[in-house]
Amino acid sequence: MMGFTTWDILRGLLLATRWTLALSAGAFVGGVLAGLIVLVLRVQPHRRLAWVARIYIEIFQSTPLLMQLFLAFFAPALLGLDVPAWAAAWVALSLWTGAFLAEIWRGSVEAVPAGQWEAGGSLGMSYLEQLRHIILPQALRIAAAPALASWCR
């Protein structure tokens, strides 16, 4: 029978911590990108795009993360695709994080006074220009604390 020393166990835990931190950081970056795309769709004046983003958020917030991880790994195999475990975990965690961040950011965008939107429109800015130059910088200040709190939980 093979025995493990305390150093073997500690070394294994340190290696696992390194990969866990790398996967968490990668999922957060992917989640930020997914959340930003969903945010833009969610606050659009076009109701169909906002509806699609809302359905995405509802699905990812209302299903258990473990189920999403299983689906990300096993569902492509049903189609004959071989997905590496790390890629499946990164995709599932990024989409899950993106749903939560998009909803936090949506609340922050809606907290910006309506007069700011009107000011951007009176300057002749397009919707995306208003969002980029006027609304998002103000919403970022509002969203900083809740977004960091959701990442650290």
CATH number at residue 119: 1.10.3720.10
The per-residue pLDDT for 149 is 74
Residue 1 lies in a domain: no
pTM of the model: 0.82
- Domain contains 74: yes
- Position 17 scores a pLDDT of 93
Q: CA angle, corner 134, sides to 131 and 138, nearest 5?
A: 100
54-59 long-range contacts (CB < 8 A, ≥24 apart) are 56/99, 57/99, 57/102, 57/103, 59/99
Predicted pLDDT at 151: 65
| Range 1-18 burial, b when 16+ CB lie within 10 A, else e | eeeeeeeeeeeeeeeeee
Distance CA 109, CA 137 (A): 10
- Domains of the chain: total: 1
What is the per-residue pLDDT for 142?
87
pLDDT of the residue at 153: 61
Q: Does residue 58 lie within any of the structural domains?
A: yes
Spacing of C-alpha 10 from chain mean position: 32
- C-beta of residue 96 within 8 angstroms of C-beta of residue 23: no
What domain range is 69 assigned to?
8-151
Structure tokens at 135: 């609304």
Q: pLDDT tens digits for the chain (153 residues)? A: 678 888 888 998 999 999 999 999 999 999 999 999 999 999 988 899 999 999 999 999 999 999 999 999 999 999 999 999 999 999 999 999 999 999 999 999 999 998 998 999 999 999 889 989 999 899 988 888 777 776 666
Residue 3 falls inside a structural domain: no
Q: What is the CA radius of gyration of the chain?
A: 20
pLDDT at 49: 92
Tokens 């809606």 correspond to 110
